Amino acid sequence: MARPNPHYGIGTFRRRLRVSAAAGEVAVELEDCNHGFRLRLWHDGERVTTVEVEPLRIPFNTCAEAVRPLQRAVGHRLDEDEATLRSRLVPGDNCTHMHDMAILAVAHAAAHRGEERTTRLYDMAVDDERDGITRARVACDGAPVHDWHIATPRSHAITAPAELAGKPVMRGFHAWASQAFDGMPREAAVALQRAYFVAQARRHSFEPVAAHPGISDGMPQGACYSYNTGAVERALRSEGTVRDFTHTPEHLLKFLP
């Protein structure tokens, strides 16, 4: 069983996500305390033709295998909607983060026009819970987009700003967020929700990693690729992969050893 993280309560979970689109290809990079990935997607203007992922820092030895189910994105038409792509990929069969990056890459492939490269950079920061409240915020290209106070861990519902009070940020999030936001603000909200979800890992320490194989977590089937039957029995935690970027956000996306 995981032990409480003795440093929880004084830190900040940080995640950085960069999307770069050019003619025929999109690159997505992601790094946070537990993960580091680079994804590249190629298309012919109509369909996805190739998806490649570099899993640079992963929680389990089995995570890299999730590149295989991600190949279901190949052949997806860029003019089809996101729901169609999600049904093709099946989120529970995939690494959550590779899946999210692929969804994002396809959206930018569909939206990109012309030959000029476009880049978008998201920075998410989720403070450790203090007095039952977590502050979560996201900026796009350095400009603030969302800043939420969330009741944690009681309801995982927003308490501020007032116009969003009561909205859930765990189960039920996508239903309201897809109606409340559009375009870049919606993309930023989805990125922030995922950061808030992953930030809960800061509560726990899994040291020594050899004593905490994936199967000991008791996660349900379909939580992600490494927690599925056939993988979870082989899932061993990676040694020395957890980082704390509380005071060093400038290190994100440098993928330092």
For residue 45, the enclosing domain spans 24-113+212-240
Pick from 104, 48, 41: nearest CA to 78: 48
For the chain, the farthest-separated pair of C-alpha atoms sits apart, in whole angstroms, at 52
User: Does 207 map to a domain?
Assistant: no
- Reported as a pLDDT band with limits 50, 70 and 90, residue 141 is very high
Average pLDDT of 58-69? Answer: 98
- Reported as a pLDDT band with limits 50, 70 and 90, residue 153 is confident
User: Does 202 map to a domain?
Assistant: no
Give the whole-angstrom CA distance, residue 192 versus residue 196. 6
pLDDT at 1 over 80: no
pLDDT at 115 over 90: no
- Prediction pTM value: 0.96
User: Does 184 map to a domain?
Assistant: no
Average pLDDT of 195-204? Answer: 96
Q: Give how many domains the chain has, as a whole number.
A: 1
Pick from 37, 28, 30: nearest CA to 63: 37
pLDDT at 2: 84
**What phi-psi label fits residue 194: left (phi over 0), alpha (psi between -120 and 50 degrees) or beta?**
alpha
Give pLDDT tens digits for 75-114.
Answer: 999 999 999 999 999 999 999 999 999 999 999 999 998 8
Structure tokens at 197: 């979800």
pLDDT at 113: 82
Give pLDDT tens digits for 26-44.
Answer: 999 999 999 999 999 999 9
User: Does 123 map to a domain?
Assistant: no
CATH number at residue 101: 3.90.1010
pLDDT at 227 over 80: yes
User: Does 83 map to a domain?
Assistant: yes
User: Does 103 map to a domain?
Assistant: yes
User: Does 217 map to a domain?
Assistant: yes
pLDDT at 20 over 90: yes
User: Does 196 map to a domain?
Assistant: no
